[in-house]
Every structure is written in C-alpha cells, then in structure tokens.
Amino acid sequence: MNIKVLKKTENELKIEVEGVEHGICNLLQKKLLEDERVDLAGYDVPHPLASNPVIHVRTKGNLKPESLLVAAVEKAREMNETFRKALEKALKD
C-alpha cells in the first residue's frame, strides 16, 4: 500500500491511497465524521477502473487533519478487534 500526499495545509489533508477499495475508505470516512472536530471528510475514486481513492479531511479551527485521521484509523482498529472477539465467541457457541 502506498500513500501519496496531494494537499496538506493547517486544517486540510488530501491523500491518494494505492491498493485499497471502498471498504476501508468508507470506514475511515465514517469514523472521521463521528468526530465533531472534523468539518469535512470524504473520499473519491476518480475513475473506477484506473484510479486510486483520494481521501479528503478538513478540520475545524487549527487542528491537524493528520492527527484526526490517525485517530480514525485507531478507532477502526478497535472496532475490528471488538468484532473479532464477538465473532470468535459466537463461533464457539
């Protein structure tokens, strides 16, 4: 997986992510939008056959978007771990 920074300002970040699909992008967008410090979060796949998704984050005030994106990744990781444990428990029963 390669990540390329397309735009980085005090409160805005756009990155292009190679090798991921809608699932990861949609999850990150959802986790970002749950944070009230995020002004805008979304992603775009410029062309479904030849393009990598572009994730866009804009924060309120002077918050660094990269820190909120990392926090969203951590929340997604925690959710994944919770799901794994619940699945293992369900499969044992």
How many C-beta atoms surround the C-beta of residue 11 within 10 A?
17
| 9: pLDDT strictly greater than 80 | yes
Mind listing the pLDDT tens digit for each residue in 25-82? 999 999 999 999 999 999 999 887 778 999 999 999 889 999 999 999 999 999 999 9
In three-state secondary structure terms, 37 is coil
pLDDT (0 to 100) of residue 30: 96
Whole-structure pTM value: 0.86
Per domain, the residue ranges of the chain are 2-92
Q: How far apart are CA 37 and CA 93, in angstroms?
A: 41
* pLDDT of 24 higher than 80: yes
Please answer whether residues 77 and 69 qualify as being in contact, where contact means their C-beta atoms are separated by less than 8 angstroms.
Answer: no
| Class in CATH terms, 2-92 | alpha beta
* CA distances in angstroms from 10 to 7, 22, 89, 90, listed in the order given: 10, 27, 44, 45
Return the pLDDT at 21.
85
